[in-house]
Amino acid sequence: MKKIEAIIRPEKLELVCQALEEVDSPGLMITEIEGHGKQKGLTQQWRGRKYKVELLPKVKIEIVVNDQDVERITKAISDAAKTGKIGDGKIFVYPVENVLRIRTGEKGELAL
Amino acid sequence: MKWKIVIFSIYLSLAACLFSAVAMAAPGPDPAGSITGTINDVTASIPGKPTLEEVAAQAGHNKVAINFVWTLIAGFLVMFMQPGFAMVETGLTRAKNVAHTMAMNFMVYPLGMLAFYICGFALMFGGIGALGTLGGYGGLNHEFTINLFGKPFGLFGTKGFFLSGSAYDAAVFTLFLFQMVFMDTTATIPTGALAERWKFLSFFIYALFVGTVIYPIFGNWVWGGGWLAMLGQNFGLGHGHVDFAGSSVVHMTGGVIALVGAWLLGPRLGKFNRDGSPNPIPGHNIPMAVIGTFILAFGWFGFNAGSTLAGTDLRIGVIATNTMLASATGALAATLWMWLVRTKKPDPSMMCNGMLAGLVAITAPCAFVNSISACIIGLVAGVLVVEAVYFIEGKLKLDDPVGAISVHGVNGAWGCLALGLFADGTYGDGWNGITGTVKGLFYGGTSQFIAQCIGIISNFIYVGLISLLVFKLIDLMVGNRVEPEVEIAGLDIPEMGVVGYAGVKLDKHSETPISK
């Protein structure tokens, strides 16, 4: 099992959710976060003085899937979230040791 | 059957009443409003048959009544500038201080008003003499005067304390209402420049000082028959210092108090780095600032056009239009200057400052200039305000979160100078007791320009010194500035006991920058 963690633009969330539905992905978790990548935020100005807003709003999506689904789902996310411009985000994939469904007590892939 | 007879008889009697009413020729409804108001409405000892004297008395009463109504409604408009100031100042500062900034803008109204009622009004207008446009009542007739260079120098009035005694007069009350809201405009200007660090108790005491002493004394010199108004009669300098609606009396006074206060209080924590370079501290609500600016621009029609104290002085058409034109060119100039010259963005907060700068600058000359001059005055004001903001922050190293010093102080001075340059000689015959119209430098009025300069310099010296004294005094009594930890946490809870935005989590935009 793998956990897919995708950092995307907030305005792309709806498209990504639709795309995930189309590829029949299991449940997902969403967190509103702030952060920056290599480019370090946006320059704004206030009364003629420039300043940098280093932390920009992003959305983090977390999905735990079977190993064979990783490719399909990461592709769906990246296709939907891509604009080709700076700030599109990143996708991380981690191994998951175990899963437990609280209601039934099922474990492992059965619990996904 | 019985009820039918009853209804029929009611119907009959109603019809009879109606018929008799028509037969007596009582006035019917007048939906067009064209025949309401006839000879019968003229007060006369024999109704419907007024004598010539009675018609003339009614005409005079009506003229003064129009002036009363005009002055009062204009005063109500100026009163509504208070929420405008509250919104501009609060919008341009941080969310963690909103309850405090709003509370200052709120309490300055009752505090200033009571101070002005107790003695401010009397010091300012107690020696003004006959109230020309409001019926000519002459109960405010004593000015404290000293002799200098063999000439009388009026310093302050002494009639009208608590609006009592000879001041218990409808015209005096009307004048009080109108002048009180002007004073309150001055009083609320420094709350913007000193925002986010001013101790509420210190502000509280300040509001009493501004209404009792700081504002009324200079006001007396210009509007109450004091020595600046008499520069024409005593020294042949034009019509004396002329300030139609208060570029100096109201705005420059507020701006100079703000300058002294901002200097004494020091910058907000994190505003300047060790090398003196400024950090931006963005305001939390641009929409609030924009709406506040519009409210101010709306109230300004009362401010300027109302300053005739006469709805029967038809110069109000010129005054109101000049006012709106200068507000437009002020906003345009500030926007373009930011967009094309200073940065690459038009900058909403500077747009607001630009419109207000145009309004402040046209306040003194609005009655004396033509429309082209009004546009030029606004254009200059729009550029001036932006440059002043950069200068005050970058060179003077003063922290003025909302640009109050630049808008009101700098452009108040510019407005008075502009009158001395552009007054075109079409208005102002008899102003300050001088026959002939008011003419600026460009129309041959050199001495008028000198009188304007003297007015500006006197304002700077007097208001600067007395506000320095007042702020120092308050500092000794209660301290002017909040503790650093209060400032970092936000003034709302420690100073006011309540947060402005309850239930809203404030983010990094409310934090205090770190001085590098």
Kindly report the three-state secondary structure assignment for every residue of B455-501: HHHHHHHHHHHHHHHHHHHHHHHCCCECCHHHHHHCCHHHHHCCCCC
Chain B hits for A44, Cβ within 8 Å: 282
Residue B23, pLDDT above cutoff 60: no
Which two three-digit tokens encode residue B391? 């200068």
pTM of the model: 0.89
Contact B342 A55 (CB under 8 A): no
B402, B89 Cβ separation under 8 angstroms: yes
Report the relative pairing of strands A56-65 and A29-35 from DSSP bridges.
Answer: antiparallel
Question: Which residue type is seen at B512?
Answer: T
Instruction: State the number of CA atoms in the 13 A half-sphere of B50 facing the CB.
Output: 15
Res. B505 pLDDT band, cuts 50 70 90: confident
Helix crossing, B170-193 with B215-223: angle to 10°? 130
Rounded Cα distance between B62 and B177, Å, is: 20
Q: Is B199 exposed, middle or buried (0-12, 13-18, 19+ CB in 10 A)?
A: buried
Q: For B197-209, what is the HEC assignment?
A: CECHHHHHHHHHH
Rg (CA), chain B: 27
Helix crossing, B200-209 with B446-477: angle to 10°? 140
Which of B94, B508, B515, B516 should we substitute to test contact with A (largest number of A Cβ atoms within 10 Å)? B508
Residue B5, pLDDT above cutoff 80: no
B66, B311 Cβ separation under 8 angstroms: yes
Residue B17, pLDDT above cutoff 60: no
Rounded Cα distance between B349 and B201, Å, is: 29
The owner of tokens 């007048």 is B30
Distance from CA of B156 to the nearest CA of A (A): 41
Chain B residue with the nearest C-alpha to that of A55? B508
Q: What pLDDT sits at residue B194?
A: 98
Rounded Cα distance between A50 and B369, Å, is: 39
B232, B434 Cβ separation under 8 angstroms: yes
pLDDT tens per residue across span A24-81:
887 889 999 998 888 777 888 999 898 888 888 999 999 999 999 999 999 999 999 9
Judged by phi (left if over 0) then psi (alpha if -120 to 50, else beta), residue A27 lies in beta
Q: Tell me the CA distances in angstroms from B496 to B94, B97, B103, B201, B269, one per residue in order.
A: 15, 10, 8, 10, 20
Determine what percent of chain B is predicted with pLDDT higher than 70. Answer: 95
Section B191-198 average pLDDT = 98
Q: How far is CA B353 from the centre of its chain?
A: 16
Q: Is B385 exposed, middle or buried (0-12, 13-18, 19+ CB in 10 A)?
A: buried
B106, B100 Cβ separation under 8 angstroms: no
Nearest Cβ partner for B350 among A47, A50, A55: A47
Contact A46 B349 (CB under 8 A): yes
Spatial neighbors of B473 by CB under 8 A, at least 6 apart, are none
Rounded Cα distance between B278 and B282, Å, is: 12
Chain A hits for B390, Cβ within 8 Å: 48
Chain A hits for B338, Cβ within 8 Å: 48
B90, B276 Cβ separation under 8 angstroms: no
Chain A residue with the nearest C-alpha to that of B282? A46
Res. B509 pLDDT band, cuts 50 70 90: confident
Report the relative pairing of strands A42-46 and B143-148 from DSSP bridges.
Answer: unpaired
Contact A46 B338 (CB under 8 A): no
Chain B hits for A48, Cβ within 8 Å: 338, 342-343, 347, 350, 386, 389-390
Q: What is the DSSP string of A62-97?
A: EEEE-GGGHHHHHHHHHHHH--SSTT--EEEEEE--
Which stretches within B306-441 are classed as H helix? Answer: 316-336, 348-363, 371-394, 404, 411-422
Helix crossing, B81-91 with B170-193: angle to 10°? 0
Spatial neighbors of B144 by CB under 8 A, at least 6 apart, are B127, B154, B155, B156, B157, B158
pLDDT tens per residue across span B360-418:
999 999 999 999 999 999 999 999 999 999 999 999 999 999 999 999 999 999 999 99
Section B445-464 average pLDDT = 98
Rounded Cα distance between B17 and B22, Å, is: 9
Q: What pLDDT sits at residue B360?
A: 98
B199, B478 Cβ separation under 8 angstroms: yes
CA quadruple B10, B11, B12, B13: dihedral, nearest 10? 50
Spatial neighbors of B152 by CB under 8 A, at least 6 apart, are B145, B146, B227, B230, B234
Residue B3, pLDDT above cutoff 80: no
Residue A49 contacts B where some CB pair is shorter than 8 Å: yes
Question: How many degrees, rounded to 5, is the angle at CA B354 between CA B352 and CA B355?
Answer: 70
B258, B405 Cβ separation under 8 angstroms: yes
Spatial neighbors of A12 by CB under 8 A, at least 6 apart, are A59, A80, A81, A83
Question: How many degrees, rounded to 5, is the angle at CA B226 between CA B225 and CA B229?
Answer: 70
Res. B15 pLDDT band, cuts 50 70 90: low
Q: What pLDDT sits at residue B10?
A: 65
Residue A38 contacts B where some CB pair is shorter than 8 Å: no
pLDDT tens per residue across span B148-180:
989 999 999 999 999 999 999 999 999 999 999
Q: Tell me the CA distances in angstroms from B366 to B301, B304, B407, B412, B416, one per residue in order.
A: 11, 7, 17, 13, 10
Contact A48 B342 (CB under 8 A): yes
Section A1-11 average pLDDT = 96
Question: How many degrees, rounded to 5, is the angle at CA B346 between CA B343 and CA B349?
Answer: 105
B188, B108 Cβ separation under 8 angstroms: yes
Asked if ipTM goes beyond 0.90, one says no
Res. B137 pLDDT band, cuts 50 70 90: very high
Chain B hits for A55, Cβ within 8 Å: 508
Q: What pLDDT sits at residue B18?
A: 56
Residue A5, pLDDT above cutoff 60: yes
Residue B261, pLDDT above cutoff 60: yes
Q: What pLDDT sits at residue B454?
A: 98
Residue B49, pLDDT above cutoff 70: yes
Chain A hits for B508, Cβ within 8 Å: 55
Element (H, E) at A3: strand A2-8
Q: What pLDDT sits at residue A55?
A: 86
